[in-house]
A and B are shown apart, each in its own frame.
Chain A
Amino acid sequence: MKTRTWIVCVALFCILCAAAAALLPYCYSGGGTAQVYSDGILVMTLDLSEDGDYLISGENGTNLLRVSNGKLAVVDASCGNGDCIRHAPASSGTPIVCLPNRLVIRFTAPAVLDAIAG
Chain B
Amino acid sequence: MNAKILIRNATAAFLFAAIPLSSALSVSATPAASVTAAQAQKLTNLKTKGAAEIDRRTANLGAALQKLAASTKISPANKAALTKQLQDELAGLAALKTKLAADTTLTEARVDVQSIVKDYRVYVLMLPKARLITAGDRIAASHDRLATLADKLEEKIKAQAAVGRDVTAMQASLTDLRAKLVSATTKLTGISDKLLALQPTDYNANHALLVQYHDTLKAAQSDLKTARDDARSIIVALKAAK
A and B associate in one complex: no
Q: Which residues of B are in contact with A by a Cβ distance under 8 Å?
A: none
Q: Which residues of A are in contact with B by a Cβ distance under 8 Å?
A: none
